[in-house]
Structure formats: C-alpha cells, structure tokens
Amino acid sequence: MTELEVILAIARRSSFRGAALELGMSTTAVSSAVAGLEARLKVRLFNRSTRSVALTDAGQRFVERIAPALAEIRSAGEEASTGPDAPSGTLRINAPQGVAFLLLEPLFSKYAQRYPQVRIDIVSESRLIDIVAEGFDAGIRLAESVPQDMIAVPLSRDIRMLVVATPEYLKRHGTPKHPSDLLKHQSIGMRLPHGGIYHWELERNGQKLQMDLPVRMALNEQLAIKQAVLLGLGIGFISERFIEEELKSGALTPVLVPWCQPFGGLRLYYSGHRFVPARLRAFIDLIHELGLATN
C-alpha cells in the first residue's frame, strides 16, 4: 500500500521530492519504494532525469488502474474505523484557479468548522483532469466542462463574463459601443492551459462573436487579470463574481453589457460508480443547505 501511495504521489507532483514532502517520507525512502515495485513488476514506471520525472506509458496505465482501487480501500478503512456516517480523512478537491477563493466563504469555512476532523486539500489548476485516476474525491468546473459520466451538483448561479475597465482608462481611450470597437483597445488576456489566449465570446440576439484582441499582457489567473485592469493597463473580460465589490464601488465600469450573456455556472462533480465517502456526502449536503446555486 505504501509503495502504491508513493507512485500516485509522484504522478501527482511529477517529483520524487514533492512526493516525499506530501507523504512525510525521505526522498531516499520514496526512491527505494519505486525501485522495489519496479523490480517486482519488471517494468519501468517513470522516466526520470536530473530535471524532470514523467510516467512511462506502462506507468500511466498502472496509475489509472490503481488510483480508484486505492481510493476505495482508503474509504473502506475510514468507514470501518469511524462508522459510515462519521466524516473523516482528507477531502481532496480539484478546482480551477481562483475558485477556492470564491468559495472559501461560506462553503469551505463552514465545512471546516462543522467537521474539524476532516482535512481539506484543494488543488487549483487550469487543466481538466481525471479526478478518479488522480485520487480526488470530487472536482469543480463550469457546467459545460463536467464529464458526462459524472454526477454534478450546482455550486453557483449562472455566470456572466463582463467587459470592464477603470473609468480613467475609458476616459483616456474611449468607451466601446460595439464589439468591433474593442479592436482599438489593449486587452488583458487569459492564458489557457495549452498556451493559447482565450478569445472573448460575446453574444446578442443570437449573434455570436469571438473577439481576438490586441493583448498588452497575458495572465493565467482571474485575480491577476482583475488587478492588471484595476491598474489601468488595459480592458478585461472577467467573471462578474470576481469583481462584485469593484462594480459596486465604481472602481470598474462594465461596457457592452447587452453582449455579455450568462452561461451555466460552477458544478461540483464526482463519480457515481464508486463508494461516496461520508466526508463527500457531508460536503454535498452542506452545498444544498447553503443554496449556493440560488444565492
């Protein structure tokens, strides 16, 4: 079991040292565990160099098979030791960058207060992963990105992206009246996981536009984009949830609002084909109790 946990930790961290820190082991012990398992399996699980660690094809297949099995074993052990209705262990959730900040109050804070025996581990990253294969209890993504074979629980109302800038920026550069006017502006772009820049998606009366704007600065976090826009470095396309206070105070001004249509909001999703641990059931119950999707 220890060797298998080591393999999964290295796969998550892409690092022997990172796995050692996560598991509270020495790097030497981690290396020995991998070497021992590879020797018994007679297969190489990782390609490693002085700079990187990556799964081999055989290692990838091995991890995909053992991750859900280990999750079931951990859940069974927790249920046996604490009872089926007592939340315990570690609630592991994979979420996009910035989402944990939005949900810290009231969801995660209230859960932590109500279930102090549960450790909360939130991994924030842009790439969409297989939550079962990588050992997560659940994931959080926009409704359109949730895999079809997963059970989805609404976490927020519909989301709207807004085109925003500071009043001073608009005074200097003019206020766009039509999406085509945006081509005269410098934008703060969103860098996507594959390296490209997100094309702003605008829609009005069935007319859909994808805007490929001049990018003055590219960032991969919504909070950083908001800060750049607040500094007057350009015009931005930001989720309304991230800028509620700035809109109320007038620090940011929305433009082209009729072109900014809402779409399906955040969803917590998890596999319906495996045992649902008490810690996750309690988390789902709290989501329903708080009514986040209607607030």
List Cβ neighbours of 19 (8 Å cut-off, separation of 6 or more).
6, 9, 10, 12, 13, 25, 30
Residue 81 pLDDT more than 80?
A: no
- What residue type is assigned to position 89 of the chain? G
Give the CATH number of domain 1-85; options: 2.60.40.10, 3.40.50.1970, 2.40.40.20, 1.10.10.10.
1.10.10.10
For the whole model, what pTM was predicted? 0.63
Spatial neighbors of 50 by CB under 8 A, at least 6 apart, are: none
Q: How far is 6 from 274, CA to CA, in rounded Å?
A: 22
Question: What whole-number percentage of the chain has pLDDT above 70?
Answer: 96
In this structure, the dihedral spanned by the alpha carbons of residues 89, 70, 50 and 39, taken in order and rounded to 10 degrees, is 140
pLDDT at 80: 65
pLDDT at 78: 63
pLDDT at 82: 55
- Mean pLDDT of the 12-39 span: 89
Domain boundaries, the chain: 1-85, 161-259
Reported as a single tens digit per residue, the pLDDT across 53-80 is 899 999 999 998 888 888 777 767 766 6
Q: Given a cut of 60, is residue 83 above it in pLDDT? A: no
Q: For residue 154, is pLDDT > 90? A: yes
- CB-CB contact of 162 with 260 (8 Å): yes
Cα pseudo-dihedral 291, 293, 294, 295, rounded to 10 = 80
Q: What is the pLDDT of residue 52?
A: 82
Q: Which one of 3.40.30.10, 3.40.50.720, 3.40.190.10, 3.30.70.360 gives the CATH number of domain 161-259?
A: 3.40.190.10
How many Cβ atoms sit within 10 Å of the Cβ of residue 213? 20
pLDDT of residue 84: 55
Model confidence pLDDT, tens digit, residues 203-262 = 999 899 998 888 999 998 888 999 999 999 999 999 998 899 999 999 999 999 999 999
Q: Which residues contact 70 (CB under 8 A, 6 or more apart)?
A: 1, 4, 5, 8, 135
First to last CA, the chain: 43
